[in-house]
Amino acid sequence: MVRSEDQRGNWRLGDRGVVGRGAVGVAGLLLAVGMLAGCADASTESGETTAPVESVEADATTAVPVESAPELTDEEALQIAVETYEEYLAISGELIDSQGDSFADLEAITTPNMSEGNQAALEQSTSGEFTTEGVIPVIKSELVQKTSSEIDILLCLDLSQSKTLDANGQQVGPDRTGLTNAVDVRVVNTDGAFKVDRSDQWTQSEFCSA
């Protein structure tokens, strides 16, 4: 397995005064307060067959082979998965700023397996009850396994630099001083793009302290 610490941890959304504000939104609320063809013989009514078998076989031999995608190295797979998840966090947080208007962007970076969490995020974003500030850096990442189309990783997120505020500007949830959260993440290659397919809290909390 490949382990990478302090990789791409501090991302920013544009040039706003609040660094990484968007990523706090859904992550802070959801994590800290509480992812063909067949063939048959053809003939005419007169009994005449269509193209001879020989010509069909000849055409098949001239087909251009499809090249498979090159296999990712462990380092490349880890980087892709971490960056995909960071993009997911940023887009998720944009829901707070747009009050749900950017929901299509969230669906575009996730698979249908994340639909339940996406809907919960949409409800929170459209409620108008929460605002966020701060940054959630990825402070540790580890590759669990990979195939040509799926990558599983573990992430440790630092929640201590983030806040979720209610409509009165009061912090929601417990004090986050020193608070980290381990997340089990899967990204899958769908139509040529990697998307988040799973994002679950990792119960073995020692991952963040190991």
Stronger pLDDT, 60 or 118, i.e. the higher one:
118
d(CA 26, CA 95): 8
Name the percent of the chain lying above pLDDT 90.
38
- Is 161 in contact with 136 (CB distance < 8 Å)? yes
What distance, in Å, lies between the first and last C-alpha atoms of the chain?
Answer: 15
pLDDT at 206: 83
Q: How far is CA 193 from CA 80, 81, 184, 207, in A?
A: 10, 11, 20, 28
Per-residue pLDDT averaged across 7-32, rounded? 37
Residues 21, 192, 118, 75, Cα dihedral to 10°: -50
Q: Residue 28 carries which DSSP code? A: I
Average pLDDT, the chain: 74
Per-residue pLDDT averaged across 121-136, rounded? 84
The string of pLDDT tens digits covering residues 64-121 is 444 445 689 999 999 999 999 999 988 887 887 788 889 999 999 999 999 999 999 8
Beta-bridge mates of residue 151? 146, 187
d(CA 135, CA 21): 6
Collect contacts of 46-50 with beta carbons under 8 A, ≥24 apart: none
Stronger pLDDT, 40 or 204, i.e. the higher one:
204
> In the structure encoding, which two tokens stand for residue 166, read together?
């209610």
pLDDT at 39: 31
- Non-local CB neighbours of 35 within 8 Å, separated by 6+ positions: 110, 111, 113, 114, 117, 185, 186, 196, 197, 198, 199, 200
